[in-house]
Amino acid sequence: MARSSRRSRPSAKRARARGAGREMLVASVVGAVNTANAREPLTRKGRGAVACFFPGWLTSEMPLHAIGWQALATAGFAARGALRSPSGLVGLGLSLGSWATLARLWSEAGDAPHVFERALRDGLGDGLDEATDPMAAVADPAVVRRRLLRGPLANHGKAWIRYRGLSYGEFGKRNHLDIWARDDLPRDGRAPVLLQVHGGAWVIGNKDQQATPLMAHMAERGWICVAINYRLSPRSTWPDHIVDVKRAIAWVKANIADHGGDPDFVAITGGSAGGHLSSLAALSANEPSWQPGFEEVDTSVVAAVPFYGVYDWTNRDGTGLEGMDDFIADNVMKTTLDDDRETWDKASTMSWVGPHAPPFMVVHGTNDTLVPVQQARSFVSMLKAESEQPVVYAELPGAQHAFEVFDSRRTLAAVGAVHRFLASIRAREDHDARSGEPDVPAATQDAVTPEG
């Protein structure tokens, strides 16, 4: 009896090792597939593309974190004896390959500064080196500590938001905005202003969820950033969204001087749906049908920086995501493209491209599964062919949609590049003002209408 009991113990250990090995193999396969999706999306079509977004987004921007979690899981399985089984050894091989690929993703993200440098040089030339800031950057030690402790999820708003929840319209919280600025910003300093429009497919999102690394970077250097909410679908219907963006621009121009800002230098940025709204607002300045009750107010901006934006709702050149028109029809427009093509066309940024466009910096990632990079390429080609102002296009290899939400390597490169772009545009504006070159104010230009 005792002999039988002793023989059963090794058998039980082997059984546990085999079970742990099988579990490790499954976990390793899942990890490897996730890594592969971050490296190259498994699909870029329809609902599959949407499903690929979230895991690819997290992993491609935080590959070292992914290595850490996978390594912890591997260590746990190994402690249970998984490496004493063939399945566990196969799983270990898969994990090692996954970690090597993740390390390569981290390394490739380090090329982002070079991508931005080339894009800025191509678009701005020697003017890139003439930029200056309103104030010298002095990082708050508390901000640095928070960034180190929280890694890619630092809460920048605590350090830089000076005014929260100011009302710019009549629709409650959806018409609120926050002002980001330094405590020591002079009230009469006429600091340049950047207005941020959040994304969220026109149906979700709010002003404190996106572009916080960018706004913190700009605010630290003496700029003012204004982050806005706007009405969302399906409760609201187009064009409520763009009307709110234009109303916010009007509020900024009328009130930002009271907070130390320059109403004559207001740029605009936004990502995804915010990329659509910011680019559309920049190209459709002073369009009266989208300024009900404030038709005569100047809503022009000096520059636009859309991130991974949707530039065409009509999918005129086949570069849109499959199924997006159904989503927009059901939730945003409440009408189909076939039934109201004129309204859909007017809502598309591409329809407004022309020589009147302000300077643009367009940013997009090659791995974007929600808004195909081909649409950004098409939009930029149109801008370069027709605009009389600089056009900068930065296409980031391996970047997913919404990449710059985190303080990742790409994000740090992106915020620095946007800062250089806007500072260069500001330097050019200052030079033109000093030289006395006559510019036609945007407010006096005739309202433009979309083609077709």
Cα distance between residue 415 and residue 423, in whole Å:
12
Of 80, 136, 73, 129, give the one whose Cα is nearest residue 99: 73
Cα distance between residue 351 and residue 354, in whole Å:
9
- Given a contact cutoff of 8 angstroms between Cβ atoms, the answer to whether 72 and 103 are in contact is no
- Given a contact cutoff of 8 angstroms between Cβ atoms, the answer to whether 412 and 68 are in contact is no
Helix (H, G, I), strand (E, B) or coil at 179: strand
- Tell me, yes or no, if 272 is annotated catalytic: yes
List 87, 272, 351, 387, catalytic entry:
272
Of 312, 340, 300, 346, give the one whose Cα is nearest residue 451: 346
What's the order of all strands across the beta sheet hosting 161-167?
161-167, 176-180, 224-228, 191-197, 261-271, 304-307, 360-365, 391-396
CB atoms within 10 A of CB 258: 9
């971050």: which residue's tokens?
A: 38
Cα distance between residue 343 and residue 335, in whole Å:
9
Q: Looking at 223-333, which runs of residues are DSSP E strands?
A: 224-228, 261-271, 304-307
As given in the structure block, the two tokens for residue 161 are 């938001």
Q: Give Cα 208 distance to the centre of its chain.
A: 13
- Given a contact cutoff of 8 angstroms between Cβ atoms, the answer to whether 360 and 383 are in contact is yes
Cα distance between residue 299 and residue 281, in whole Å:
8
Distance between terminal CA atoms of the chain?
Answer: 91
What single letter denotes the amino acid at residue 437? E
Exposure of 2 by Cβ count < 10 A (0-12 exposed, 13-18 middle, 19+ buried)?
exposed
Cα distance between residue 65 and residue 97, in whole Å:
16
List 156, 176, 276, 401, catalytic entry:
401
- Given a contact cutoff of 8 angstroms between Cβ atoms, the answer to whether 348 and 311 are in contact is yes
Q: Give Cα 169 distance to the centre of its chain.
A: 25
Cα distance between residue 271 and residue 250, in whole Å:
21
Q: Give Cα 86 distance to the centre of its chain.
A: 44
- Tell me, yes or no, if 368 is annotated catalytic: yes
Beta pairing partners, 194: 225, 267
The catalytic residues are 272, 368, 401
